Structure 1
Amino acid sequence: MPPAADPHPPILQARKLCKVYGSGEAAVHALRDVDLDVARGEFVVLLGASGSGKSTLLNILGGLDRPSSGTLSFAGQPLTGVGEDALTTYRREHVGFVFQFYNLIPSLTVAENVALVTDIARDPMPVDEAIALVALSPRRNHFPSQLSGGEQQRVAIARAIAKRPELLLCDEPTGALDYATGKLVLEVIARINAELGTTALVITHNAAISGMADRVVRVADGRIDRIERPERRLTPAELAW
């Protein structure tokens, strides 16, 4: 008798992912046989030193890059071996990205920057709702130059979540911020994860941030070194570094 189907299959499932840049003696193995399942609604921290492969992994999970070999699926649908149009649709409809640098358009206001993604989303969140979720309603008509670094990063998060993505992928979202401001940004990401049920993956080299995760995936030399599950998820306010 075949085993019963998993009632809660992973939203992301990676098997034997490899990524090689170049060839021959100059080849760089950025990922080596990575297996990873990510549950829907989970908060995962990818922790590792610079050059460990964590950004390469995040880019492949988000459909920004392709693996050299291995398989990846989202909600049971394959992402490896599909065409560019399918990857574009995946990114547009299911994934929100937040990077270390905010990538806001200087000539647009907060509301206008957030509204950019609502034009291409199937079921977008009202712009003002997304701005309220990151606690920036009083700044909706300000330009990026009138905002602090932390406020600009929160605009970037609002823009990412305005299309209601199932996945929020964050690459060093506090890397350019000071301690106090970084905590405010982490609080916003935690709130999105808790209140909207958005699956969140956060890359960091800061081990202290791992305390707020459901699971911590430690990456070294292109491999998953180990996976840890904290006894209790800390709030960003409880983190110290």
Structure 2
Amino acid sequence: MGSPSDTVIFKAQGLTKVYAMGDVEVHALRGVDLELRAGEFVVMLGPSGSGKSTLLNILGGLDVPTDGQVWYHGEDLTRAGDARLTRFRREHVGFVFQFYNLIPSLTARENVAIVTDIAPDPLPPEDALAMVGLGERLDHFPAQLSGGEQQRVAIARAIAKRPVVMLCDEPTGALDSATGVRVLEALERVNTEMGTTTVIITHNADIARMAQRVLWMQDGRIVREQTNTERVAASALTW
């Protein structure tokens, strides 16, 4: 498996996020400090409402913190305007969510090409789909694919722009164990072969065994961190 370098890609300091829900303030993040390194494979665990998705969305430029700062390769994203954040997301970040967000009227190849048409140095859609084991399903529509295959198309779409970082929010949440393992194998391969920094947030503690580093979140804070001295390949996971 790939080895992380000492190069810090993301540095977050004192991140807080407060949402106003009517008259109530919800504190989603309460002063998070975090560093992510090049090529690292990180799994983030924690119950619903612990702040995992909020943190991921801020790192990916989909949301902004109420307070605190995030640097990406030394650039302060919290001071970036909308246009800069859009370019950052488009050129540097691959997102994978629990639900695949594929366009039903487009084939697998066409769903991936949506990204390659706007990326500066894309992988050909065929290469991206081959990387996730779908080289034979290029011309299938989402309705002709299983849930796991659709999720792998979503991963191919994310990696086709050659992102520096992959941010994955419950990528196996809607899948059974065997199908989920195939999705994790695809993410593992991307991390190893492309050196893409990969962060997976999940409820599933078993997935943490394949990580280089595991972070636990609770009540808007990172409460524990562990480096795995021995990692388990995705193919060996069961839950």
Question: Fold conserved (TM > 0.5)?
Answer: yes
Structure 1: unaligned runs, 5 residues or longer:
1-6
Supply the distance in 2 between the matched residues of 1:182 and 1:23 (Cα, whole angstroms). 34
SS in 1 for 2:55: helix
Query: Scaled by the length of structure 2, what TM-score is found?
Result: 0.96
- The CA deviation at 1:24 is 9.3
Q: Is 1:86 aligned to 2:51, yes or no?
A: no
Between the two proteins, the alignment pairs up a number of residues equal to: 235
> Residue 33 of structure 2 aligns with which residue?
35
Task: From 183, 204, 208, give the equivalent of 1:185.
Answer: 183
> Residue 132 of structure 2 aligns with which residue?
134
Amino acid at match of 1:38: L
- What are the within-5 Å matches in structure 2 for residues 75-114 of structure 1? 75-114=73-112
Q: Deviations over 1:161-205 (max 9, x none)?
A: 000000100000000000100000000000000010000000001
SS in 1 for 2:79: coil
> Residue 52 of structure 1 aligns with which residue?
50
Taking every aligned residue pair, what percent have the same amino acid on both sides? 62
Amino acid at match of 1:134: V
Amino acid at match of 2:78: T
SS in 1 for 2:191: helix
Residues 229-238 or 70-79, more deviating: 229-238
- The CA deviation at 1:43 is 0.3
Supply the distance in 1 between the matched residues of 2:90 and 2:196 (Cα, whole angstroms). 15
Supply the distance in 2 between the matched residues of 1:40 and 1:222 (Cα, whole angstroms). 25
The answer to whether the 8 Å contact 2:210/2:231 transfers is yes
Supply the distance in 1 between the matched residues of 2:102 and 2:7 (Cα, whole angstroms). 35
> Residue 234 of structure 1 aligns with which residue?
232
Q: Deviations over 1:4-28 (max 9, x none)?
A: xxx9431000000000001896110
CA 1:181/1:24 → structure 2, altered by over 3 Å: closer, same or farther?
closer
Supply the distance in 2 between the matched residues of 1:202 and 1:217 (Cα, whole angstroms). 10
> Residue 205 of structure 1 aligns with which residue?
203
Query: Scaled by the length of structure 1, what TM-score is found?
Result: 0.95
Amino acid at match of 1:116: I
Supply the distance in 2 between the matched residues of 1:236 and 1:177 (Cα, whole angstroms). 15
Structure 2: unaligned runs, 5 residues or longer:
none
> Residue 213 of structure 2 aligns with which residue?
215
Supply the distance in 1 between the matched residues of 2:102 and 2:206 (Cα, whole angstroms). 28
CA 1:98/1:23 → structure 2, altered by over 3 Å: closer, same or farther?
closer
Supply the distance in 2 between the matched residues of 1:129 and 1:9 (Cα, whole angstroms). 28
Task: From 6, 11, 20, give the equivalent of 2:9.
Answer: 11
Supply the distance in 2 between the matched residues of 1:81 and 1:207 (Cα, whole angstroms). 35
Q: Deviations over 1:134-154 (max 9, x none)?
A: 110111000000000000000
SS in 1 for 2:104: coil
- The CA deviation at 1:240 is 2.5
The answer to whether the 8 Å contact 2:178/2:238 transfers is no
| Poorly superposed stretches of 4+, deviation over 6 Å | none
Supply the distance in 2 between the matched residues of 1:139 and 1:238 (Cα, whole angstroms). 25
Amino acid at match of 1:131: L
Amino acid at match of 2:54: T
- The CA deviation at 1:117 is 0.3
SS in 1 for 2:8: coil
